[in-house]
Amino acid sequence: MVNLKINNIPVEVEEGATILEAARKAGVRIPTLCYLKDINAIGACRMCVVEVKGARSLCAACVYPVNEGMEVFTSTPKVLESRRTTLELILSDHNKSCLSCVRSGNCELQSLCNEYGVDQSRFTGATNNEPKDESTCYLVRDNTKCILCRRCVAACRNQQVAVIGPNARGFDTHIGCAFEMNLSDVPCVACGQCIVSCPTGALKEKEEIPAVEAALADPNKVVVVAPAPAVRAALGEEFGLPIGTNVEGKMVTAMRRLGFDKVFDVDFGADLTIMEEGTEFIERLTHGGKLPMITSCSPGWIKYCEHYYPDMLDNLSSCKSPMQMYGAVIKTYFAEKNGLDPRNIFVVGVMPCTAKKFEKGRDDENAAGVPDVDAVLTTRELARMIKNHGIMFTELPDSEFDAPLGMSTGAGVIFGATGGVMEAALRTVVEILEKKPLKKLDFDDVRGIEGVKEASYMVAGKKVNVAVASGLSNAKKVLDAVKNGEKDYHFIEIMCCPGGCVNGGGQPIQPASVRQDIDLRAARAKALYSQDAEMPMRKSHENPAVKELYDTYLEKPGSHKAHRILHTSYVRRGK
């Protein structure tokens, strides 16, 4: 342990800690811009500078290690003037159209400028006029709002993708792809972790609100919406509710007030996924199919596999994701049952994920001859729609999803957390193979926010080895271990985003100061596990709406008709 003083406040921290960490323990906030816990610590922005007694110059608190007897001062006139000047220099080359920026009110640069009372016009001169990169269907990059903090670069590197970085030098430095290629021309996986890492409005999802609003205004369209499990655990943050608040009831009410004809639940699609995926796993396990089988729920992970591990595509489950299954069932079963033309049904998914915007346009995702899903809104986009319509979210009463495709189990709910798909699958697979009810439904070994989790279970006399990985850096570790013969798994769950969908690229953006103290992954996941624990049905194969779907339409899990509607295919993509 090391003893030091922060603003004359004694504090004791572990050896190796930084001044920034010591200050937080002393109850002192030091502003940051480039720093992001567990993502980026490079001391580049110079907002966190402090005075250290005996040092010749100001020191960057986010990277400067503490030592015994150190005395640190965080708000001297010299420090405050340095931070103010840094902000004014950033503003000298910054697109200041704050009133129309999607991040206005939730921009770390804007907040610091207000806090320090900066003069936005103190420094004038040349400005950056780079065109936007709008080449993908899921993301927009506007470098006129970029502050070169490199958080996005670090997030992309941490995901083992690394398709963006600083190009050129000096005043011409900007974030881009190699050889100035468009983002659509490089192996980006659409995860959106760059967006939730960005402190300003330089990165945002490609908005689909206008398309949804147009469909809602069209009297000839039946507009159906359904949220993913993780959305209910995070949407409340956009309205000032504590992180980890489950707002399912208010969310459903808000969707109805927006004018959607039916409000269903992608949790139903999650239960359906377990029926198909579980059947597929049992078939592979008992009849010598390709193992390990790997889950296919996460479109960012699927795109990563197609780009970087194309030799393992046969290991992927052929199941569509829960969102795509939900859309496919709407435009086949629901359409036939209600005498509707699939072309007149507009299916909207509300997702914690930007990769879903890419997924809906993939080949082999059109069970009725038209796209299974027509539009994808992120959690943030749904919040903007609610605000734009003047709906007072926190004052709304709770309501329930529409039947039958709004009916789900606890197994469907936990899909939003890393390990949730594996646990949901095990609840069903073990009962089917053992031919008896499980005594304990909680598979604690696959829970938690660790990047890689392993477990082995005896199922019907056979040892089944499973692994769970979240974040593509951890996915790479698991896949390399399998390829090298170091690990012998039967079933692997992989989620693209660290912590799973609760930490997806389409979720509410929290500033670095909040992420320093609160683990968003754990807080949001807790909301889903709490809901699961309270639900009367916690196993996918118990869902009566799923049973009816098979009895009256799909025949049985894994049937030819189920494969035609609920399964898909993959493609090899170049790096």
Distance in angstroms (rounded) separating the CA atoms of residues 359 and 374 = 11
Residue 239's Cβ-side half-sphere holds a number of Cα atoms within 13 Å equal to: 27
DSSP code of 242? P
Q: Phi and psi of 349, rounded to 5°?
A: -110, 140
Mean pLDDT (whole number) for 265-292 = 97
| 234 pLDDT above the threshold of 90 | yes
What's the gap between Cα 402 and its chain centre? 26
Confidence of residue 125 (pLDDT cuts 50, 70, 90): confident
| 575 pLDDT above the threshold of 80 | no
Q: Residue 140 is encoded by which pair of tokens?
A: 């927009």
The residue with tokens 């502003």 is 31
Q: How many residues are recorded in the chain?
A: 575
User: Rounded to a whole number, what is the distance in angstroms from the first to the last CA of the chain?
Assistant: 46
Q: Phi and psi of 399, rounded to 5°?
A: -145, 175
Q: Of 446, 456, 457, 442, nearest to 500 (Cα)?
A: 446
Total Cβ atoms within 10 A of residue 249: 15
| 3 state DSSP class of 360 | coil
Mean pLDDT (whole number) for 37-57 = 96
Structural domain boundaries in the chain: 2-75, 107-206, 210-566
Angle between helices 209-217 and 379-388 (to 10 degrees): 50
Q: Of 93, 92, 53, 55, nearest to 73 (Cα)?
A: 53
> Over 78-133, what HEC string results?
HHHHHHHHHHHHHHCCCCCCHHHCCCCCCCHHHHHHHHHCCCCCCCCCCCCCCCCE
**pTM strictly above 0.85:** yes
pLDDT, residue 85, reads 96
pLDDT, residue 477, reads 98
CATH code 3.30.70.20 for 107-206: yes
| 49-52/71-73 β-pairing | antiparallel
User: What DSSP line would sit under 469-522, residue for residue?
Assistant: EESHHHHHHHHHHHHTTS---SEEEEESSTTSGGG-TTSPP--HHHHHH--HHH
**CATH topology classification for 210-566:** Rossmann fold (3.40.50)
Full strand arrangement of the beta sheet holding 345-351: 262-263, 222-227, 345-351, 375-378
Q: What's the one-letter identity of residue 35? A: Y
Distance in angstroms (rounded) separating the CA atoms of residues 495 and 468 = 8
The residues with which 167 forms a beta bridge, in sequence order, are 174
Tens digit of each residue's pLDDT (9 = 90 or more) over 471-513: 999 999 999 999 999 999 999 999 999 999 999 999 999 999 9
pLDDT, residue 574, reads 79
What's the gap between Cα 336 and its chain centre? 34
Mean pLDDT (whole number) for 267-279 = 98
The residue with tokens 């903007």 is 384
Q: What's the one-letter identity of residue 213? A: E
Task: Name the maximum alpha-carbon separation found in the chain.
Answer: 80
Confidence of residue 124 (pLDDT cuts 50, 70, 90): confident
The residue with tokens 């608040």 is 245
| 128 pLDDT above the threshold of 90 | no
Tens digit of each residue's pLDDT (9 = 90 or more) over 160-201: 999 999 999 999 999 999 999 999 999 999 999 999 999 999
CB 471 within 8 A of CB 191: no
Distance in angstroms (rounded) separating the CA atoms of residues 59 and 52 = 7
For the domain spanning 2-75, the CATH number is 3.10.20.740
Q: Residue 401 is encoded by which pair of tokens?
A: 């999803």
pLDDT, residue 385, reads 98
Is 130 exposed, middle or buried (CB count within 10 Å of its CB: 0-12, 13-18, 19+)? middle
DSSP code of 200? S
pLDDT, residue 152, reads 98
Q: Of 373, 270, 277, nearest to 322 (Cα)?
A: 270
| 3 state DSSP class of 574 | coil
| 455 pLDDT above the threshold of 80 | yes
